[in-house]
Structure 1
């Protein structure tokens, strides 16, 4: 009996990491291109944007919510910063801060409706997603901004996106695992009524979490705009899918109260490795969407089953 309990606990904690290792072993064996250092760097660079989004999504899901606005906010950050840089190519700091602040305000709007108006997170952020996307189109008049700022371009080139991602990863891991804010998030997501009875201002926590998700979406949008040298109102469509997938695959429970940043890192690496591997194997993008959907469903089912067995 003890042996079975140990095995179940081991699989629950390290099963998803084992999946990542198996994926790497298989691809190292079948694809010479996958073995190259340049491909490894390419995977990390590709997951940087979605990884930043997934970290913000992890915080939100851990409170028992969801944030569907992240993809639209990527576009908002791009057009806001792009419009400033087109007029003033040297005002990089102003452009970056403006894009991030506006996205943070959208996050605050989401948090307000979830925390104070008690609108279900899915509905509130679905509306927010539509509003943010419309805002991006109205603000840019539906046209992309072509950026010619050398200083801004540095943000998205070379190892910079990877470094930005890893720094955010470390900071957010410390916030969640070492700080009072993190403990309050676990408490809010685990049992919001018990958290309130313990003196936790859950409304304040919810707003902070959605603001954080908005800010991280803004940073992701800045990195992507720098990589592509453009601020586009249509960019970011569907990004929320990979962000949710990475968080859930990494062990974040959709019912709240459970999750870690290292787990989300493993989840985003699985998504990145999967995308890279399927491209190298010339698998159609249509089939890739089906595979991702199956993986998300499988991760949620695994979470439900593991919870039932632990009771």
Structure 2
């Protein structure tokens, strides 16, 4: 298989820096060249600071892909599925390029960011940057463990990476920045919080089918296909926040785009009885974008300036 970008399936880190860019018109050939050089630069940083467990991922937005690589496109790469239903909204905010930088040292992420900005220069414009951090033992700021259902070991690659064809080793990426209403959440008794999530808060034990409400986050985020198989994602989400704003930067990687779309739909609409994900009463999606993270081999092979 083609070499995947290592950060797609990497283990959790202490610090993350997530960068969102739009490209200036007319720079597509030189952006392709810069992208072909980026994996080498990221590997150099990883070797220089090996103890930091650094990794980086670059992903191309669904709308920008056609301009950057007009001759070939991942089959399921399409715009983010914006949803607006009652008081629940999943907006789409298209972005050309997404960069995930993660390590156990915040200064290493900063160094990588500076190298990247030097490489691209005036070709791209920074739209948003979201610094993230590991909270306690891998918990969301709601106090519950995040990513419990993530695949383990070899299965991480099976879930996250395209297996065959031109885009083998690549991954479909969906990113949403959620803003939590922690003041409201913290007024909810722990027992009720556990019913909203579907797991115990301290021990991270999933409720039984009999105990778990249809509106629990665990219930609504677990979707099965027509054959009864669970639709899985490789989540690399991290909390972010300061004294005034807190939330979760949701990031998922998958071998297809459909899994994410079906899970998001099930959270917002729920069942025919209106059993949507009640966690959405306490957090709001403010952005949403779809990308594809090609393999290292694909990126390096496209570095030909017209």
Q: TM-score range by the shorter chain?
A: under 0.3
Q: Which has the higher strand share?
A: 2
TM-score, reference length from structure 2: 0.26
Q: Which has the higher helix share?
A: 1
